Structure formats: C-alpha cells, structure tokens
Amino acid sequence: MKRRTLFVAYLCSILQKILKMIIMSKKELNLLIAILLAGSFFVGCSKFESKNEERVILVKTMTVSPSNNIVGNSYVGLVEEELSTSLSFQSIGNIENIYVGEGQRVSKGQLLATLNKANLKSTHDMALSTLKRAKDGYERLKLLHDNGSLPEIKWVEIQTSLQQAISSEEIARKGLQNAELRAPYSGIISKKNAEVGSNVIMGMSVFTLVKTDNVKIKISIPEKEISKIKIGDPVSINVSALGNKVFNAKITEKGVAGDMLSHTYDARIKINNSNNELLPGMVCNVSILKEGETQNIVLPNSCIQIDNNDNKFVWIDKNGVAEKRIISTGGFVGDGVIVAGGLSEGDKVIIEGNSKVSQGMKISVK
C-alpha cells in the first residue's frame, strides 16, 4: 500500500513537470507570434511613412503683393424683385379653380384662376334678355316716332331704356369676363393667398406676381458716406447663398430721402438675372470700389479655407513644404477677398491644389 502511494506521488510530479513544459511552450509561442506581428507592423508603418514623405503635390502659387488700385467699402445688401404686383379679381364670387402654385413661372396672359360663373352667367343672360326687349321696343316705336305719331317724351323714355339695357349688358359681360384671372406679364408666382372655395371681393389679393429677369440690390449707406457715392460707381456683390458667387455691376439709383431713425440713404444696383439664380430676399455683401486710397492684399476666394475652430487659413509654400497660415479677412473686391492680417509681402500662397495638401507635405510649383 505504501509503495502504491509513493508510485502515485511520483507520477503526479512527472505530470506537473510535463504540464509546466507545455504551458511554457505556449507562452513562448505566443511571445514569438507577438514579436513577429509587431515587427511586420513597424515595417509596414515605416514603409507607409516613407511613401507619404516621398509624395509631392503639384500646386500653383501667387506671390503676395499689396495693391492700392482698388479697395471696397462694404455694406449689407438685400435682393429685390424688379417688379411686384398683387393680383385680384374684379368681381365678387367664389373661387372655382386655381391653376398655379407658389414658385411657378407663368407667361403673360396665362389663366391663373377662375370664379364660379353660374351666378355671373345668369346675370348676363338676364341682361341680354332685357337688351333684346329694349331693342325690339325701340325698333317698333321708331316707326311711330318717324311718322310723328309718338309723343316726344315717350321717345326719350324709349331711348333712355335702350341705353340702360346696353350699359347693364356691358357690365354683366364684363363681370363674366372678370371671373378669369390672368397674368398681366411673365414672371413668378411668389405668393398664393387663396384656395379653391374661398369667397373673394373686388381688390382682395389672390396672388403676388414678381418679375425677376432683372433684380435690384438695395443697400443702406450712412449719411456720412452718402456724399462719396455716385451713380455709375462700380460695385462687387458677393452672395453667400450661391456659394459666395461674385457679381460685378454699377450703382443705378441713389436715394435723396434719408431714413429719420437710422440716418441712412438707400442706393440700388440693377443686375441681369436671366437665369433666375438671384431670389428676392437673399442677403449679400456689397463692396463699392474706389481707387488709390489704401494698400490691400487681395486673394482669390477659392484659396481660403476654414478649419475645425472656424479659423480662416491659407496654405503657404515655405521652401517647397506646405505651411498652414491663419488669416483675418475684410471685404470683397471683384472676385477676391481682402486679407486684413496674417500675410506679408512676398509670401507664396497656394491658390490651386490647396485642397490636397497638409501640414509639412512636400509640394512642387507648376
């Protein structure tokens, strides 16, 4: 029994050694695998970094050079329609049909809406019947009058009755015609103020029609600056709603009556808008261009970017390497932006390919 116990203990010790060797082998194997993976990772990263460092981006630059040729005083502008008309029926009635909606382009003479014509037609039919009787009576009594058999006072009554019947028929016919509302000119329906089934009276607005083939930009100029503004002065208009698209035009109107509260005067700029991209109510930035006042750095709007902290910046070519430069901007001039700070004369700003570069990346100028 004692021998058996010793033998079992001996076997257990051997098994423990074997298990320890197996466990140690797995750990060593795992360690070896981890070393191999780490080595391949670092090799891959070094290859990627090497490849990234060797990548060169082709760009186009412009050298910063302040100019005093033109500068701009900036104002907030508002787009206005060239013409706006409130359309209404000239008859009392109930709207039976509406054929157009808001934002729809219409042509001159196009039918927009109609009233229920049943009552108007009945009125016109009655007027026609009265007119027919008046004409018949007139023709019969005219023979008597010509023969001298009709008193003059009776003849006057007959003539008066006929004229009244003619007038009543014209009014009823006009009322029937006014049951149709048509566009007085080609334009866009900017507002629809009624629905089918609505009761309307004469003069009640049903639609607002605007003409936008040309638009006007209204700006308010402080009284201290209005004397410097003249009709014909060139302006640059930047519309943020259209991706900062720039329009060049001239001042066409200059107000002479100031606002008593704001002490400003209105001026307007007319712009061709044949493609109808400018819409009434859009806000824009208007720079009135002058010459020879101060020096300014002007950059193309496309080369200015905004980072995650809302900082405006550009990319600079610094000895063949891209460098980020934070800037501050002023107004708009032509198709460019005035840079108020952050750049110096001689800086080389990347104006093409700037969306492909990053800090420290090697670049090559076209």
**Which amino acid type is present at position 319?**
N
Does 13 fall in a domain? yes
Does 103 fall in a domain? no
Place 6 in a pLDDT band, splitting at 50, 70 and 90.
low
Q: What is the CATH number of the domain that holds 310?
A: 2.40.420.20
Q: 265 with 304, same domain? A: no
Region 62-81: mean pLDDT is 80
Region 94-119: mean pLDDT is 93
CB atoms within 10 A of CB 25: 10
pLDDT at residue 8 greater than cutoff 70: no
Per the model's pLDDT, the better-predicted residue between 140 and 336 turns out to be 140
What integer pLDDT is reported at residue 176 of this predicted model?
Answer: 83
What integer pLDDT is reported at residue 297 of this predicted model?
Answer: 84
Q: 266 with 336, same domain? A: no
What integer pLDDT is reported at residue 72 of this predicted model?
Answer: 62
What integer pLDDT is reported at residue 9 of this predicted model?
Answer: 59
Place 20 in a pLDDT band, splitting at 50, 70 and 90.
low
- Contact present, 327 and 312 (Cβ < 8 Å): yes
% the chain with pLDDT above 70: 81
Backbone torsion region of residue 268, taken as left when φ is above 0, otherwise alpha when ψ lies between -120 and 50, otherwise beta: beta
Region 126-154: mean pLDDT is 88
Per the model's pLDDT, the better-predicted residue between 70 and 31 turns out to be 70
Does 86 fall in a domain? no
209 phi/psi in degrees, rounded to 5: -110, 130
Does 104 fall in a domain? no
Q: 165 with 234, same domain? A: no
Per the model's pLDDT, the better-predicted residue between 147 and 107 turns out to be 107
Does 63 fall in a domain? yes
pLDDT in tens, 167-222: 989 988 888 888 899 999 999 999 999 999 999 998 899 999 999 999 999 999 99
Overall domain count for the chain: 4
Q: What is the CATH number of the domain that holds 153?
A: 1.10.287.470
Does 241 fall in a domain? yes
What integer pLDDT is reported at residue 163 of this predicted model?
Answer: 93
pLDDT averaged over the chain? 83
* Segments forming the whole domain that contains residue 77: 73-81+209-289
| CA-closest candidate to residue 63, choices 321, 299, 249 | 299
- Contact present, 287 and 236 (Cβ < 8 Å): yes
Q: 260 with 217, same domain? A: yes
pLDDT in tens, 283-323: 999 988 776 556 678 888 889 999 999 999 999 999 999 99
pLDDT in tens, 32-67: 455 445 444 444 444 444 444 567 889 999 898 876
Does 332 fall in a domain? yes
pLDDT at residue 366 greater than cutoff 90: no
- Which pTM was predicted? 0.54
Q: Which two tokens stand for residue 112?
A: 């927009």
Contacts of 270 (CB under 8 A, 6+ apart): 82, 214, 215, 216, 249, 252, 253
Does 61 fall in a domain? yes
Q: 307 with 344, same domain? A: yes
pLDDT at residue 256 greater than cutoff 80: yes
Provide DSSP, 206-237: EEEEEEEEEEEEEEEEETTTGGG--TT-EEEE
